[in-house]
Structure 1
Amino acid sequence: MTPRPFSAYERMIAWRYLRARRREGGVSVMSVISLVGVSLAVFALIATLAVRSGFRTEFVDTIIGANAHVTLRATPVYDEYGLVRDTIQDYERLADVAARVPGVVRAAPMINGQVMATANGRNSGVEIYGETLEDLKTIPLVSTPETAQGDLARYGEGIAIGSGIARELRLGVGDVLRLISPDGVKGPFGTTPRIVDYEVVYIFQVGRYDIDRTRIYMPFEEAQSFFNREGMADGIEIMVEEPEAVNASVPALVAAAGPEVYAFTWRDQWQSFLRALEMEDNIMFIILSILVMVASLNIVSGLIMLVKNKGRDVGILRTMGLSEGAVLRVFFMCGASIGLAGTLIGVVLGSLFAIYIDPIFNAVNWILGGGAWDPSVRYLSRLPAELRWEDVAKAVALSLGLSFGVTYFPARRAARLNPVEALRYE
């Protein structure tokens, strides 16, 4: 009766070959090197994929948590004076119509404009958003930010500013910030800049440097006056239940709002960031796949040496009746076991790194003396990581596929070894 494949005696021979010392014809040192190489490669792949997933999740969460998912704006038209008008007159009706569209959870009119901010002898360009207090409370990362100072309930008495503006202009709660708009009071001699002082009543940090560094919220009616928008709004901000599937909500919103408005989504606004993240994802996976392949080739080197050293043993086993298939399986198990063990170790190390990335990075930052993470460059206040099981599965499949694939060829060479040639000079 023919023994079944991968039987106990085949596993026993493979195990003896793996743990044999070099003077016994084994390559245990090479096996250890191969094991470490595969482990580190899988660890690097999982850690990188986790950080990449964390980056995307953090970017998307801060984008959809501090910005409208869909914005409705008026289609630009020329008035009787030849000037372009793109403001919304009946914004209350339009917001009410948009709020009744299925899937919409928030619809609020807003004023938007860019001005110069100055305080303590410093100047900075900022972006103003005019919102009512009730609407501002429905913006998740502003009403419940990473950190906050002041009282949002006093919003009607002043303005809310990002933490980056506060640091840049050296402001705290209760300080006065001067805003300067070139589109001010219109008089017989032209337009004079509008200069108004506001008390800072609330400082928020959403976690994205470009938002914290430029954004100011102003009461809606005050923003209408400041930007000469009495009775008008610049747009309708809309949030939906499923931000990732926001494009599915756009046709219904446009149909309900009418042809005089157009819509653009957060995906349209942040398209360059999303493409950059997708490109980074693909490039990193390809580069680290090459690293895993190189580590797997160490298994081939060790297995070729093992086949050469064990040529006499193979000849004896073949003369005793061991089939070519059995020899192939013996050497295949030698290489595959290294790949399997290295993959498991790499998965454990990579998963632990992703789970405990904050204390690990804090230790690295302390060793380097601080400053290893600059939010002004990376736009995020911390290094994110998200361990996704689909990423782990991709890393495991890649590592095992390469390890098993490259192991087959030296194992096949061992199986085809002629026992007469192997024993000729013994």
Structure 2
Amino acid sequence: MAQKTAPFAPFEWMIAWRYLRAKRSEGGVSVMTWISLVGITLAVAALIITLAVRSGFRYEFVDTILGANSHVSIYNSGRVTEAGTFAQVITDYEDLAQKAATAPGVVRAAPLIKGQVMAVNAGRNAGVEVWGIRPDDLMDVRRVVDPEDYAGDINRFEAGIAIGAGVARTLNATVGDRVKLISPDGVKTAFGTSPRQAAYEIVYVFQVGRYDIDRTRVYMPFAAAQEYFNREGQADEVEVILEDPENVADAELGILEAVGENALLWTWRDSSGAFLQALEMEDNVMFIILSVLVLIASMNIVSGLIMLVKNKGRDIGILRTMGLSEGSVLRVFFICGASVGVIGTIAGIVLGCLFAIYIDPIFDAVNFVMGGGVWDPSVRMISRLPARLEVGDVMSAVSLSLFLSFVVTIFPARRAARMNPVEALRYE
């Protein structure tokens, strides 16, 4: 009767290692096993790279949204003026901002004026969105104060306007140029409404890395915006910056209680939530697709291990007649197959992490080879391909690869363990 041994005893590892390093002519590891090793490496690397780019996309989108926009916008629910018109402007914006600032989780609250106008410079024009904001409040707009690239001096903001890099390119304008802003909602005369025009010096050009902001955003001092848009003593909204914008839903009730029932709230999730949900759905689909690739690569281990078992049939018969148990034989071939999965997974981790870390020079090389224009910010909405390695994503890829590799290895290993030693040695 075969003597029972402790699972994964040293001699089992020794036999498995001899089989793994044996030459092809000696009945060792087949070409199929090497193919499965390379396949697992590439599949794990692809999964890690995809997860890193996915995390990078979400981080960049959310960071630019939160770093250059209001986390919560407070609007007036509206009222009917003495002239019979419906107005939503805020006249008590100072009081409203102070009340909003007292709500739990609020870092600051400030009034804003917004308007869409035409910007003109040297015969070129562009539609832009003007944000009237106080200089001190602009200093709290993180992505504008600390952008990807900039020109000029933001400390001179009171003397002019700050524009996005995309606006500057469209207008062929730079710091020091005077840009004319034209609004169709101007002075009303007996002959109709005359467009409002005013020229402002560009004192600061910023690039936050988000196309729709860099291409349209213009900041103007709050007092100058009130004068330009005929908003003396008024504001269009009050912007609120939160300490934890990811949990904006928890802060909404507190803000409403602080500002009163006549206010309307619009959060950053209301404006971008649908896009983030679509991005998350796409991420899940990509994870499933790449998981199938890992499974296909792991299935190659089965082919290689079956061939190894066939080549080592005589050895199995001898080992069994020497007293090796079925469990020991199973573990020997399980180690052979699992080792391929482990080695391939480790190689995939290294390759995937290196690719994610050096994605910028790699992408620059691809862009150079392709002649440029590979990345279109107007379509992708951000200026570069982001990648962000996170421990959870890497562990997900590792867990999936190892799980599939171990599971598919069990079946050919069991076949080897159940081989009849008499049949294995009959024709030897």
Shift of 1:363: 2.6
Amino acid at match of 1:402: L
Matching residue of 2:171: 169
Amino acid at match of 2:193: T
Deviates more, 1:397-406 or 1:357-366: 357-366
Q: For 1:184-203, what per-residue CA distance to the aligned partner results, in whole angstroms no more than 9, with x for missing partners?
A: 11233432221222221211
Structure 1 position 284 matched with structure 2 position 281:
no
Matching residue of 1:59: 61
Matching residue of 1:235: 237
Matching residue of 2:189: 187
- Partners of 2:54 and 2:371 lie apart in 1 by 25
Matching residue of 2:99: 97
Matching residue of 1:130: 132
Matching residue of 2:18: 16
Assess if the C-alpha contact under 8 Å between 1:106 and 1:138 holds in 2: no
CA RMSD of aligned residues (A): 1.5
Matching residue of 2:255: 253
Shift of 1:276: 2.6
Assess if the C-alpha contact under 8 Å between 1:19 and 1:28 holds in 2: no
Matching residue of 2:373: 371
SS at match of 1:238: strand
Matching residue of 2:396: 394
Assess if the C-alpha contact under 8 Å between 1:18 and 1:28 holds in 2: no
SS at match of 2:181: strand
Deviates more, 1:157-166 or 1:318-327: 318-327
Amino acid at match of 1:134: D
Shift of 1:368: 2.8
Matching residue of 1:141: 143
Amino acid at match of 1:269: S
Shift of 1:369: 3.0
The residue correspondences of 1:318-329 to structure 2 (distance < 5 A) are 318-329=320-331
Q: For 1:342-399, what per-residue CA distance to the aligned partner results, in whole angstroms no more than 9, with x for missing partners?
A: 1111111111222222222223323333332222221212221111011110010000
- Partners of 2:314 and 2:225 lie apart in 1 by 89
- Partners of 1:322 and 1:28 lie apart in 2 by 24
Amino acid at match of 1:191: T
Matching residue of 2:356: 354
Matching residue of 2:156: 154
Assess if the C-alpha contact under 8 Å between 1:20 and 1:28 holds in 2: no
Matching residue of 1:207: 209
Matching residue of 2:334: 332
- Partners of 2:171 and 2:65 lie apart in 1 by 24
Shift of 1:113: 1.3
- Partners of 1:229 and 1:184 lie apart in 2 by 12
2:73 to 68, 71, 74: 71
Shift of 1:316: 2.2
Q: For 1:329-349, what per-residue CA distance to the aligned partner results, in whole angstroms no more than 9, with x for missing partners?
A: 111111000000111111111
Amino acid at match of 2:190: P
TM-score, with length taken from structure 1: 0.96
Assess if the C-alpha contact under 8 Å between 2:30 and 2:307 holds in 1: no
- Partners of 2:321 and 2:32 lie apart in 1 by 29
1:310 to 305, 309, 312: 312
- Partners of 1:367 and 1:143 lie apart in 2 by 35
Shift of 1:80: 4.6
Matching residue of 1:37: 39
Q: For 1:195-229, what per-residue CA distance to the aligned partner results, in whole angstroms no more than 9, with x for missing partners?
A: 22222121111111110000001111221222222
Matching residue of 1:86: 88
Assess if the C-alpha contact under 8 Å between 2:153 and 2:204 holds in 1: yes
SS at match of 2:168: helix
Assess if the C-alpha contact under 8 Å between 1:18 and 1:31 holds in 2: no
Assess if the C-alpha contact under 8 Å between 2:71 and 2:241 holds in 1: yes
Matching residue of 1:113: 115
Structure 2 gap ranges (5+): none
SS at match of 2:302: helix
- Partners of 1:319 and 1:140 lie apart in 2 by 74
Matching residue of 2:406: 404
SS at match of 1:87: coil
Deviates more, 1:413-422 or 1:101-110: 413-422
List, as ranges, runs of 4+ consecutive aligned residues in structure 1 with deviation greater than 4 Å.
Answer: none
Shift of 1:81: 4.2
- Partners of 1:294 and 1:133 lie apart in 2 by 58
- Partners of 2:169 and 2:281 lie apart in 1 by 33
Assess if the C-alpha contact under 8 Å between 2:102 and 2:258 holds in 1: no
Matching residue of 1:418: 420
- Partners of 2:401 and 2:302 lie apart in 1 by 14
Structure 1 gap ranges (5+): none
SS at match of 1:249: helix
Assess if the C-alpha contact under 8 Å between 2:30 and 2:308 holds in 1: no
- Partners of 1:143 and 1:156 lie apart in 2 by 15
Q: For 1:90-133, what per-residue CA distance to the aligned partner results, in whole angstroms no more than 9, with x for missing partners?
A: 00000111112232112100001111222222222111101111
- Partners of 2:231 and 2:277 lie apart in 1 by 36
TM-score, with length taken from structure 2: 0.96
Matching residue of 1:270: 272
